[in-house]
Structure 1
Amino acid sequence: MNFNLGTYQAGKTTILPVFIGQNVEKLGLKLSDYHGKKKDHVVWFDAEGTRFVVIGLGDVKKFDLNKFRDVVAFGARAARKEGVSDVTVLLPEGTSFSNEDLVHTVAEGYVMGEYQFNKYKANKEESTVKNITVASLDGDLTGLEGALNRGKIYGEGTVIARELNNEPTNKMRPFDLADYVVNLFKDSGATVELFKGAELEEKQYNGLIAVGRGSAHKPVMIKINFQNDTSKQATALVGKGLTFDVGGYSLKLSRDLSDMRMDMGGAAATVGAMYILTRLNAPVNVVGIIASAENLIDNNALLPGEIIEYRNGKSVSIGNTDAEGRLVLADALILSQEIGAERVIDIATLTGACMRALGSKMSGLFANDESVANAVKEAANYTGEKVWELPLFDEYEDLLYSPIADMANIGSGDLAGAITAALFLRNFVGENQKWAHVDMAGPMAVNRSHSYSNEGATGYGARLLADFAQR
């Protein structure tokens, strides 16, 4: 798809976002309040040779960029179904946002809304749209090419994260993920290092080794280096990369476990974020770290009652093999210390407890430093990927007590599971590191295309991490 800035021209299929009560008679349309109401469908109008895709934005006083992303996504899907090749998207009038923000959001929302994962289907709905023109009825968009390109790249990074998560289990093993990363970052300005087999043992990535023992598809630690501006604060983006998680011997009990291929949501977000940063040629000093494994069962798999000794000297007793994400993240966090990252953010589909607390629309945020927490919140506000800060309550560390090791990998009892998971991870963060943890179990996936997140993986976190890294 080609994006460009231009002016409205009658005769093209035009996506028209409208507010309740907005007058658009200058376009030859007479609309009612109904057409301005926020909803999950579009209304087609023909006027003066133009096909309008009218989509409601709701009350202008409650407008935000996420609503605009949704509207653009609905319009993109409608244009695809109509089979057109050229589309104009009009910016909404009367908002408090700059044209720069609106232009960015159009490109971002269109790319995300257009995406569909249908590569394994016999009958595919192919996109016919080739050219998208972004236009405004009340202003000149000259000079906003950078915002347009930035939005497009943000959207592409999210699509990459979705694509990785949506891949079937048999198509995305740990080494498949590693190969994908190597190919994606060829000639990008980034370098990729892979640690597997004997190298994992040599570096004592014992948590990753232990979790991956039950699978014939062995684990790998992936490191993506993009030091484009070494004067900037060294930042590590850390992602959990469980390409499938059956729970190990603490077997998950569910009728359908197919979504457990998305337990690599944090890894997918990290890859998508690094794509955004490299394609923008952003002036950052960032390393992406992904700990990837499969958590399966065989006669060599990790058992409850084992102890893992980490290279930072701390030991962990295993109470539940389905609390495996924190075990691999611990190794990645230790690596972030060793490479000198001054601030680090890890992201993972970590706990059902966080999803039960916050639902499916936002992630839990934990941080040991206010400046990092604020930077994550600011990034979330900009990208629309919502977070809610939860406490690192020191008194709950007692719930991780183990009589035979420095700590257990699960808390005692069924309470505060998201907090105890974050407290566990804090044990592997450097004393002087500024650290944030994002538990994205809730917004990992959606079951229908009701927003700019299409059915399946949402790609949550790719834009959030990329934006955070630039702050």
Structure 2
Amino acid sequence: MTTISLASTAPSALEVDAIVIGIVPDEPAAPDAAGPGLRTAGGAQDVDRALDGRLAAALSALGATGKAGEITKLPTLGALTAPVVVAAGLGADAGPDALRRAAGAAVRSLAGSARVALALPAGSAEEVAAVALGALLGNYSFGRYRTGERKEPVAELTVLTGEETGGAVEALERARTLASSITLVRDLVNTPPSDLGPEDLAQIAAKVAGEVGLGVQVLDEKELAEGGYGGIVGVGQGSVRPPRLVRLSYTHPEAERTVVFVGKGITFDTGGLSLKPADAMDWMKSDMGGAGAVLGALRAIALLKTKVNAIGYLPLAENMPSGTAQRPSDVLTIYGGKTVEVLNTDAEGRLVMADALARSGEDSPDLLVDVATLTGAQLVALGTRTFGVMANDDEVRERVVAAAGRVGEASWPMPLPPELRKGLDSAVADIANISSERWGGMLVAGVFLAEFVPEGVRWAHLDIAGPAFNKGEPYGDTPKGGTGAATRTLVQIAEDVAAGTL
């Protein structure tokens, strides 16, 4: 298990396997210098002195430029106790997000090391938090199913900071809490669906709730049917592993406001009878990424003792084709009585979400936020790293986007055009689950969900279909596979609600 601590020791004196420093682009020292220049940042000055002032020249000779995401390793040849210096490029704007990403990339490149010191700029609590969080997230590894030899994550991380850095201890603890909660989400997303059905995830949520003091209620398939949760029951009826609805609750004695989160929890999505093509199915274990984010966020909110009342709903089901599966043209009755004609069983996430959104009205939320790996159209519109934000209130949408930006998660405001509602008209029910037109799929899904938001409740919808699972190579503090997308944003939203700014 990785440990992380603070120290104000000079990096050149540390008994570690590697020292991570920051470098940024700079103008060449001379007009005829070969290639771009660079300069060091943070604790690198001490390392430079130990190398007789040759650090920048040596890194330049190795091709380092200081651009964001760049990692350059330099042997110290006995000049320092540490055998290796790792220079992490911070880019021109070396703010907290750049520090977090650089720390993550550097630590990941050092997998297999026992002890690593981070001498990145950490002169403020915000910078300490960024470096610590990036290091912990970059150190992530999912090795549960590997039997051969592999490089283990770094065992000991030390963040070097100034002796006068105020709030450093609190910043480190916050980073540790966020990182452990995001790690939980990543592990859940990466777990094979054979080992994570609806009941399994419900049991894990109950266990986490017990560990951090959350209230928990789990409804099984019989209780869901009796309670009128037609969306969850309909989606789950095709699987031998029945659905569940988990309700988590956190209360603070000084809280004056309540936020409710709803996270899509499809533990595997075949598309049901509207079967997905094979190449679109292999990563559908990530279709519970929204529920994972809500669980991780509630855990962090409880540990951080945020002054808010927070409730999380995890509607959980496995969407499978079978003789008992729902059929295209079936009609479901959602919690509260509204009916939905199911024209495509692969538009199942919005069905389970509808139940939970409708149920949330009984909690009288000041703000309702749902998060879901909802549409392939999100990837078409915004790519794999930016999630879409829709809302029934323009100010809420902008403030949610701002909250995401403050914690370093990329998002983009999207509209909910009212004219798209007509495409969801059904000949036999109150609404259809897909539109008769193919365009604007991400927005249409948001328009559908809006139909089930309790009247008068401010609501935002986060479509994280792409960002929840990284099918490409690792980058910054983001690994391959499950990312934990939106977890930090939900925590920040809860804090903003507590502060009365959202």
| TM-score normalised by the chain length of structure 2 | 0.88
Match of 1:241 in 2: 265
With over 3 angstroms needed to count, the CA separation of the structure-2 counterparts of 1:437 and 1:259, relative to structure 1, is same
Could you give the per-residue CA deviations for residues 188-220 of structure 1, whole angstroms, max 9, x where no partner exists?
221111011221112100100000010000000
Q: What are structure 1's unaligned runs of at least 5 residues?
A: none
Residue by residue, what CA displacement relative to the aligned partner does 1:293-338 show, whole Å, maximum 9, x if unpaired?
0010111101011111223231111110100000000001011111
Alpha carbons of 1:374 and 1:26: their partners in 2 closer, same or farther (altered >3 Å)?
Answer: farther
Q: 1:99 aligns with which of 110, 124, 143?
A: 124
Query: By how many angstroms is 1:184 displaced?
Result: 1.4
Aligned to 2:34: none
> For 1:373, what is the secondary structure of its paired residue?
helix
Equivalent pair of 1:18/1:56 in contact (CA under 8 Å): yes
Q: Is the partner of 1:116 in helix, strand or coil?
A: coil
1:2 alignment partner in structure 2: 3
| Partner of residue 39, structure 2 | 22
Give the counterpart letter for 1:89 in structure 2.
L
Measure the CA separation in 1 of the matches of 2:483 and 2:167: 31
**Does 2:38 align with 1:38?**
no
Q: Which has the larger radius of gyration?
A: 2
Q: CA 1:369 to 1:229, structure 2 compared with 1: closer, same or farther past 3 Å?
A: farther
Q: Which residue, 113, 119, 124 being the options, matches 1:90?
A: 119
Maintained 8 Å contact 2:199/2:244: yes
Q: How far does residue 143 in structure 1 lie from its aligned partner after superposition?
A: 3.5
> What is the Cα deviation at residue 128 of structure 1?
6.3
- CA deviation map 1:59-110 (0-9, x unaligned): 1xx33433222211122123323x23x32211328xxxx7111111112111
> CA separation in 2, counterparts of 1:327 and 1:39?
40
Q: Distance in 2 between matches of 1:285 and 1:56?
A: 40
Between stretches 274-283 and 359-368, larger displacement belongs to 274-283
1:70 aligns with 2:101: yes
How far did residue 124 of structure 1 move?
4.3
**Would the aligned equivalents of 1:91 and 1:103 in 2 still touch at CA under 8 Å?**
no
Residues 45 and 54 of structure 1 are in contact (CA less than 8 Å); yes or no, is this contact kept in structure 2? Answer: no
**1:317 touches 1:405 (CA, 8 Å); kept in 2?**
yes
- Counterpart for residue 318 of structure 1: 342
Between 101-110 and 306-315, report the one with greater CA deviation.
Answer: 306-315
The residue identity in structure 2 corresponding to 1:49 is T
1:27 and 1:401 map into 2 onto residues whose CA distance is: 72
Alignment gaps of 5+ in structure 2? 26-37, 497-502
Matched, 1:355 2:372: no
Show the counterpart of 1:462: 487
Does the alignment pair 1:390 with 2:414?
yes
Which whole-Å CA distance do the structure 2 matches of 1:88 and 1:334 have between them? 49
Residues 276-306 of structure 1 deviation map (CA, whole Å, 9 limit, x = unaligned): 1112122220001010000101111010111
Inter-partner Cα distance in structure 2 for 1:129 and 1:117 = 13
Q: CA deviation at 1:41?
A: 3.2
Partners of 2:149 and 2:203 in 1: how far apart?
27
One-letter amino acid matched to 1:19: V
The yes-or-no answer on 1:448 pairing with 2:477 is: no
Decide whether aligned partners of structure 1 residues 267 and 372 sit closer, same or farther in structure 2, where only a CA change above 3 A counts.
same
Q: For the structure 1 residues 231 and 75, does the alpha-carbon distance in structure 2 shift closer, same or farther, using more than 3 Å as the test? A: same
Candidates 135, 143, 152, aligned match of 1:127: 152
Judge which range, 121-130 or 155-164, deviates more.
121-130
Answer whether contact 1:224 1:289 (CA < 8 A) is retained. yes
Aligned residue for 1:261, secondary structure, equals helix
> How many aligned residue pairs are there?
462
Which SS does the other structure have where 1:287 is aligned? strand
Q: Distance in 1 between matches of 2:491 and 2:466?
A: 20
* C-alpha distance in 2 between matches for 1:416 and 1:103: 41
SS of match in other structure, 1:202: helix
Counterparts of 1:370 and 1:292 in 2: how far apart (Å)? 30
RMSD over aligned Cα, in angstroms? 1.8
> Where in structure 2 are the equivalents of 1:133-148 lying within 5 Å?
133-136=158-161, 140-148=164-172
Q: Is contact 1:219–1:292 with CA below 8 Å preserved after alignment?
A: yes
* TM-superposition CA deviations, 1:22-59 (whole Å, max 9, x none): 15433534215534223443323314333311111121
How far did 1:129 drift? 3.5
**1:90 and 1:48 mapped to 2: Cα distance?**
14
Rate the CA distance shift 1:278–1:42 in 2: closer, same or farther, 3 A.
Answer: farther
- In structure 1, C-alpha distance between the alignment counterparts of 2:136 and 2:81, rounded to whole Å: 27
CA pair 264-386 structure 1, distance change in 2 beyond 3 A: same
Q: How far, CA to CA, are the matches of 1:147 and 1:460 in structure 2? A: 21
Q: CA separation of 1:231/1:275 partners in 2, compared to 1, >3 Å: closer, same or farther?
A: closer
Tell me the residue number matched to 2:245: 221
Separation (CA, whole Å) in 2 of partners of 1:128 and 1:194: 35
- Are the counterparts in 2 of residues 107 and 149 from structure 1 also a CA contact under 8 Å? no
Aligned partner of residue 454 in structure 2, secondary structure: coil
Deviations along 1:214-255, whole A, 9 cap, x unmatched? Answer: 000000000111012463311111000000000011110133
Which one of 278, 290, 293 corresponds to residue 269 of structure 1? 293
Q: Give yes or no for contact 1:70–1:451 (8 Å, CA) kept in 2.
A: yes
Which 4+ stretches in 1 moved above 6 angstroms? Answer: none
TM-score normalised according to structure 1 size: 0.94
Instruction: Spell out the pairing of 1:49-448 with structure 2 (5 A cutoff).
Output: 49-50=81-82, 51-59=84-92, 62-81=93-112, 83-84=113-114, 86-92=115-121, 99-127=124-152, 129-136=154-161, 140-229=164-253, 231-255=255-279, 257-446=281-470, 447-448=472-473
Residues 354, 78 of structure 1: CA spacing in aligned structure 2 closer, same or farther, 3 A cutoff? closer
Q: Note the alpha carbon deviations across 1:119-151, whole angstroms, 9 max, x for none.
A: 1011243536443221236x6325320011101
Relative to structure 1, is the Cα distance of residues 40 and 22 closer, same or farther in structure 2, using a 3 angstrom cutoff?
A: closer
